[in-house]
A and B are shown apart, each in its own frame.
Chain A
Amino acid sequence: GNSVTQMEGPVTLSEEAFLTINCTYTATGYPSLFWYVQYPGEGLQLLLKATKADDKGSNKGFEATYRKETTSFHLEKGSVQVSDSAVYFCALIPYSGAGSYQLTFGKGTKLSVIP
């Protein structure tokens, strides 16, 4: 079946530090890959996505590259801010053909950024 594995948190960084959150996946075919973010007390929201191998998704200074050879989609940011403190979820949609829709999430990685 399809699955997503994320590094376990929590991750605590100082402001302006470099961030990497690892994500690997298992899926048949060519899934689309996503990072969602959940700020405290809120629902999840889409941060970035990539739909084919070697694509790079980017948003708000975050980046992730779809690596099919390593089945990975690691999230990176060069300089984190306190406002980036949140829970980050890696997710995938398998190649579905017609009529199927299922977003599979990892368990989430909590990031805390301290001033």
Chain B
Amino acid sequence: DAGVIQSPRHEVTEMGQEVTLRCKPISGHDYLFWYRQTMMRGLELLIYFNNNVPIDDSGMPEDRFSAKMPNASFSTLKIQPSEPRDSAVYFCASSTDTLGTGELFFGEGSRLTVL
């Protein structure tokens, strides 16, 4: 069975450029999460969706970040304009869980480097 699929796996861009990260969740999962991982701050939840609707975006660092989920099988995380401090690994995760079982299925991540 296909797991969570993220693209690109690696992205190197210059400051000021737009970056779009993509995620395909596991079919049938109704929750989708975007996390950011850095050495300094660890793993941070940016935003999550339930049935394609954003539920909590309080972790989105600033207006340069936006996320969409136009349908159940696709989500994007966009950074415009990008800055060097956005360099991190961005993970997408999905779940069919509602309350408390806590099992998220993570993609392999998109490693972003902003020069």
Contacts and interface: CB of A to CB of B under 8 A. Distances in A.
A79 interface: no
Q: How large is the interface on B (under 10, 10 to 19, 20 to 34, 35 or more residues)?
A: 20 to 34
Given A44-B91, A91-B102, A93-B102, A103 B45 contact: yes
Contacts of A93: 100, 102
A68 B78 CA distance: 41
Interface string B71-113: 0000000000000000000010100011111111111110000
Contacts of A96: 99-100
Interface string B17-46: 000000000000001010000000011010
A96 B31 CA distance: 16
Contacts of A51: 100
B102 A43 contact: no
Contacts of A44: 43, 91, 93, 104, 106
B67 interface: no
Contacts of A46: 102-104
A108 B89 CA distance: 15
A25 interface: no
Interface of B: 4, 31, 33, 42-43, 45, 48, 50, 55-56, 91, 93, 97-109
Interface of A: 32, 34, 41-46, 49, 51, 89, 91, 93, 96, 98, 101-108
16 contacts: A32-B100, A32-B102, A34-B102, A43-B107, A44-B43, A45-B106, A46-B102, A46-B104, A93-B100, A101-B48, A101-B97, A102-B56, A103-B45, A105-B43, A106-B42, A107-B42
